[in-house]
Structure 1
């Protein structure tokens, strides 16, 4: 969930803490509901309240979420501590242990993303046409220099984040607005020679 000027997570223990499918799912849910209790998380994930409470406390320990207000004596409401969770798999600022943790987190995030995309395309035909027709998936191959690719990555990130303010402040959302997943990705494609496939 990178923003236009991300702060990179470089602590290997924090990366490992987030590289858990349920913890990653919980962090993602805070984009949809600004505050949640363990009970609400259990309703949304199908896990037990105790399990959700344990993982929420782990996320809080590493600074990903924080108490939203004082406990009412029964349950503690939580909120996201940051809308910026960014990491580099094997990039600068990571030792070997951190690089391994970052790869594990990337795997969890990509598995979750693939699952959500598949779920969307399975239910797309049941959505109102104006919503279904407003979505899309595209792929392109571009021959670019490192500088051009860096510029493109930055521009796509800025475009994807144009509605960030609405995620943080519900009062800024127009009537009828719904949460939409906007995905940007730039990566190097292996050549046919590198693949050894000739395709």
Structure 2
């Protein structure tokens, strides 16, 4: 049995993994395991409003491509599953060469956008119950920058490094909470694609 890795991502979203992940329940299963931590199919089914048989099947499909792992902590039929990686997975460069995989990736990105929007909408619904210091710290910001594609890649990498530095900074502090940080980058003038 595998345990949950604590190192840099060893799994890449290649064409096969993207096709397997591009399913509404599978995408939510991986998201739930990343956010909540290891769980059984029964607990995940309850949380996601499905049945444990279907959940078990989809977890096995995700495990076959390395996106989730059986932690070995369960007993008998009550396997405990975990996301193979806590952090975002790098996407393979060759998806554009596989039309089905590119279509699946497009679906996944839109699914993730809906998921992020739902989660942030939930925060907007409950934030008034949180202390003002949390309301001030959390939120949404948009910044406009003028960069080349290479500079945007560098900025993305640097922001990833900042997030990595803070990944467990509050661990052990009773005032610390888990926080989701979503980064999106897109050209403002998207109807004016560069020639190269």
- Give the TM bin, normalised by the shorter chain: 0.7 to 0.9
Equivalent residue in structure 2 for 1:115, among 93, 99, 118: 118
Q: CA RMSD in A?
A: 2.7
- Per-residue CA deviation, residues 35-55 of structure 1 (Å, 9 max, x unaligned), is 210111123222222222122
Aligned to 1:197: none
Aligned to 1:143: 146
CA distance in 1, matches of 2:46, 2:175: 24
| TM-score normalised to structure 2 length | 0.80
Is 1:49 the counterpart of 2:52 in the alignment?
yes
Q: 1:5–1:155: structure 2 CA closer, same or farther, 3 Å change rule?
A: farther
Q: 1:109–1:178: structure 2 CA closer, same or farther, 3 Å change rule?
A: same
- Per-residue CA deviation, residues 11-42 of structure 1 (Å, 9 max, x unaligned), is x2310211122211211122233321011112
Q: CA shift at 1:93, angstroms?
A: 1.5
Aligned to 2:173: 174
- What 5-or-longer segments of structure 1 have no aligned partner? 195-199
- What 5-or-longer segments of structure 2 have no aligned partner? 1-6
Runs of 4+ aligned residues of structure 1 deviating over 6 Å after TM superposition are: 3-6
SS at match of 2:137: coil
Q: 1:50–1:5: structure 2 CA closer, same or farther, 3 Å change rule?
A: closer
| TM-score normalised to structure 1 length | 0.79
Aligned to 1:79: 82
SS at match of 1:66: strand
Q: How many residues align?
A: 185
CA distance in 1, matches of 2:116, 2:43: 22
Aligned to 1:99: 102
